[in-house]
A = this chain, B = another copy of it.
Amino acid sequence: MAKDREKDQKEKKMFVGIAWNCAAELKFLLTALLFLCSLATVLQFLPSRFSLSSSDLRDCLSRLSTAAAAITNTSDVDAAVVKKVLAPPPLPPPASPSPPSFQQDQVLEGGIIKRGFNPYGAASYNFILMSAYRGGLNTFAVIGLASKPLHVFGRPTYQCEWVPHLSTQLQSVTAVGYKILTDWGYGHVYTVVVVNCTFPVPVGDDGSGGRLVLHASTNGGGDRKLNLTDSFEALTEAPGSLNVSYFTSPPKYDFLYCGSSLYGNLSPQRVREWLAYHVRLFGEKSHFVIHDAGGVHSAMLEVLRPWMEKGYVTLHDIREQERFDGYYHNQFMVVNDCLHRYRFMTKWMFFFDVDEFIFVPRKSTIRSVVDSLSDYTQFTIEQMPMSSRLCLSQDAGKTFRKWGIEKLVYRDVKRGIRRDRKYAVQPRNVFATGVHMSQNTAGKTTHKTEGRIKYFHYHGTVAERREPCRQLVNTTEVTVDGVPYVLDTTMRDAAGFVKRFELKMVGSILQRTRQ
């Protein structure tokens, strides 16, 4: 008991000492840093091997900065917990992290030539943080990019740490980060990683605030000799900012659309049609999240603007991710950010593209359809591929005045082709998501939705800014380049309603929209 009290007092002293007067540690660390930097700088001036210090510097500095982080990080937590989380000791002796020397070839006893290998620089980041969201009282999702070969050939690990706000004097809590690779098989320099941080106990649930720190370790991925750990803050919760009822309250929306990365010179008219059509379909309790990876040029923004002003659309500018080379403008990262960001704000979440139009048959509504599927966490939707170039002869001379969904009326009926599906989920049961479906859900998935819901796909029509009609046809069936088509006026028949709906909702402002 006496021992415990002594320990408690010591800890308190330590806490006060560090929190209110960290000058001693600061001085020590600064001195160590300066010493190392000086050493490194001097090394650079040695005439023979001037640039060995570039990578070595990084090594020693990363060690030091990790140590520094350890202190800042954990000044208010139990030292034993800290040690488990952070491998390097909190205060390394200034002489010990000496830079590894340049490896020269050596001739060993018996004439064996021991060859040296010398690494320089860095070709990719370990982790690129996009966002982190709380998913409940004890769980979080961290969304970002990580080095692709690190995940394919190495075994990087993630450790989560909840660091309570300074004022609470609570201990920090740690958990193994469960990584989900949502675009496995894709990716370039970087691949998308969703790290699920689920702690054994609720954290910060009293609203006292805190920080979620992610420790990302390479485990020798780029160099088997080194296990580099990068520790960074993924999320900060200010005291009083947490609303615990958020996770159990009925969601604000019935339907939320998570769009993929928009890129290129897209057609404003096609997106105008798409938006009016789907706001009408999904109704008042719906919302559309659009991601601009460079595709929302000024004419496109004009189309979005009236719907943004009416509160139907939120536009995310994600152009900065273009810095990091991943699969198709990092679309897998973007949809996962959307999932977790809006997870508690909608009953259903839809994932499809802006050249695709969801359709439910007459006598049903989108609401009656999802209600009939409410036992499922996820359902997928069948594709109706539409020609992006065949139009009706009767539209000759007036195609430019007609909407895309009005004039493109020939459906590809070639059999035996596996066609992509799109999908919708009840996001509270989903942990990560892909582009064609999610493979990380709690609850059932169904693909048996034929006759209840489908989508018309006008492939390639959004990516170009010219009149799509290339060939006019006056029969109900036609075969072009070996592909059989049939006349399908389902969407054409809806066009008039959609036009009147748009006029009613946003006025005539969009009527001069160009291809």
B-contacting residues of A (Cβ < 8 Å)? 22, 26, 29-30, 33-34, 37-38, 40-42, 44-45, 47-55, 57-58, 61-62, 65-66, 68-69, 72-73, 103, 108, 110-131, 146-150, 152-154, 156, 166, 188-189, 213, 216, 218, 220-225, 228, 230-233, 236, 292, 305, 308, 314-318, 320-325, 337
Contacts and interface: CB of A to CB of B under 8 A. Distances in A.
A322 B220 CA distance: 11
B37 A123 contact: no
Contacts of A52: 232
A317 B106 CA distance: 10
Given A38-B30, A150-B123, A320-B115, A110 B222 contact: no
A117 B128 contact: yes
Contact of A118 (B58, B73, B221, B232): B232
Contacts of A72: 44-45, 47, 50
A17 to B, nearest CB: 14
Given A113-B316, A120-B129, A123-B156, 8 more contacts: A44-B65, A45-B68, A50-B72, A119-B125, A120-B128, A121-B218, A122-B125, A122-B222
A30 B38 CA distance: 7
A246 to B, nearest CB: 19
A68 B41 contact: yes
A45 B48 CA distance: 37
Nearest to A19: B47
A37 B106 CA distance: 35
21 contacts: A26-B42, A26-B45, A33-B37, A40-B65, A48-B233, A49-B233, A50-B68, A50-B233, A53-B65, A57-B65, A61-B61, A112-B317, A115-B131, A115-B321, A117-B128, A117-B321, A118-B232, A121-B127, A123-B125, A123-B149, A224-B325
Contacts of A62: 54, 58, 121
Contacts of A61: 37, 57-58, 61
A142 to B, nearest CB: 12
Contacts of A112: 292, 315-317
Contact of A41 (B33, B51, B152, B154): B33
Contacts of A322: 224
A126 B117 contact: no
A263 to B, nearest CB: 14
Contacts of A292: 112
A2 B61 CA distance: 49
Output the residue of A66, A146, A320 with the most chain B CB within 10 A.
A320
